[in-house]
Structure 1
């Protein structure tokens, strides 16, 4: 596995196969349009992701869903040279036989396999609020959370003054995300996990 310092030695743009070969096992990086992005994970960042995963795992067990949260997973959308690495992803186990790469690598390509994704925002917030917002909708992923525990997103997305915000995006019948902007003790209404009892602060507060 290539070290971060090897980034300058990699031909640009990177193909998905090259990215997989050099960075596939490195949770720090993802690929967007051939460009390598450092996800900048910190301790608080990982705490927020862990809280989301813990609550969703509980719901999966309690409700008896045939879902699971993989430890490592890449999403390969239709775009050439792109491999998203979500902070939390929930997969439908029964859909995996249709995935062409899954048997040999933890890579999913079909939106029908993915029930839920969450991204914990870092300084590359534009990718979470814009690029992934569009691509995850195009894939048909039913639910997408953007956990901005530091309030880093642009004012267009989280308002002014900036403050910690959880954006819950649920796919509508037209294949577009409808957004809920949540803060503090506002309850989260999940389409995929309808019995979930969780507030925005329970998620965002894990990073503070």
Structure 2
């Protein structure tokens, strides 16, 4: 059975894997963005918010103009544009498809586990993310443009080989900020994952308070629904897919 234990805010953002492959992602820092420890001039809050909104919209327009011309996946965070330069494939896509299908077998008909477009976007927060799978009502998906994150029941990410920090760190920060109540991570590098729930306030902003780890082969509960993780594929060191079962 998956183990449950409280996850301190700092600990909940750490990738439990002791070794990581070199990251192939690029984060283009937003103009005026600074890392912690850097100095900055004090500006009026209203001016800062207006400037951030204009900057976010500009970055979003850039992302949408590049989506069809460059490989990989583009997202927008408070730090800038994140580009995962390697297009996911193999175990990544198979895992997303199997998790989606298994969830839909146990969920009510008015919900679906969607693994396509559109993006999840919060303009005031300046965040646009693209979960690998979202659990959402059909009626809430039937909208023009991006999905309101407050309508998302759960977000599910399959960790990419090229950019694990985006799922284990960046989205761990952004999804509770967007109000997404359940965040599940499947990591084909390690054959394990975790489900994060119970958003609470911290000095660094909203964070998930509870973390439940699992390993492939165990059942995992995402929201109100429990599915098997048997047969999910793994990455191999040479880049080949480690065989999983052909069952959904």
Q: Which has the larger radius of gyration?
A: 2
Give the gaps of 5 or more residues in structure 1: 1-9, 152-163
- What do the CA deviations read for 1:134-179 (whole angstroms, capped 9, x no partner)? 211121212111111113xxxxxxxxxxxx2111112356664211
Structure with higher RCO (Cα < 8 A, 6+ apart): 2
Q: Which has the higher helix share?
A: 1
Query: Normalising by structure 1, what TM-score?
Result: 0.69
Residue 89 of structure 1 is matched in structure 2 by: 134
Whether the aligned pair in 2 keeps the contact of 1:145 and 1:166 (CA below 8 Å) is: yes
Q: How many residues align?
A: 173
Q: Which has the higher strand share?
A: 2
Is 2:76 the partner of 1:37?
no
Q: CA deviation at 1:26?
A: 7.3
The 1:197–1:44 alpha-carbon spacing in structure 2 relative to 1, beyond 3 Å, is: closer
Q: Is the 8 A contact 2:94 2:233 kept in 1?
A: no
Give the drift of 1:48.
0.9
- Spell out the pairing of 1:1-208 with structure 2 (5 A cutoff): 15-23=59-67, 28-33=72-77, 34-38=80-84, 40=86, 41-60=88-107, 63-67=108-112, 69=114, 71-77=116-122, 78-80=124-126, 82-95=127-140, 102-103=143-144, 105=145, 107-108=146-147, 110-122=148-160, 123-151=162-190, 164-172=191-199, 176-177=207-208, 178-193=210-225, 196-199=226-229, 201-203=230-232, 208=242
Computed over aligned residues only, the root mean square deviation of the Cα atoms, in angstroms, reads: 3.0
Give the match's secondary structure for 1:197: strand
Asked whether the equivalents of residues 154 and 222 of structure 2 are also in contact (C-alpha less than 8 Å), the reply is no
Aligned mates of 2:176, 2:188 — CA distance in 1: 23
Q: CA deviation at 1:111?
A: 2.6
State the secondary structure of the residue aligned to 2:105. Answer: helix
Contact 2:118/2:130, CA 8 A, preserved across alignment: yes
Structure 2 residue ranges without an equivalent (≥5): 1-27, 32-57, 236-240, 243-248
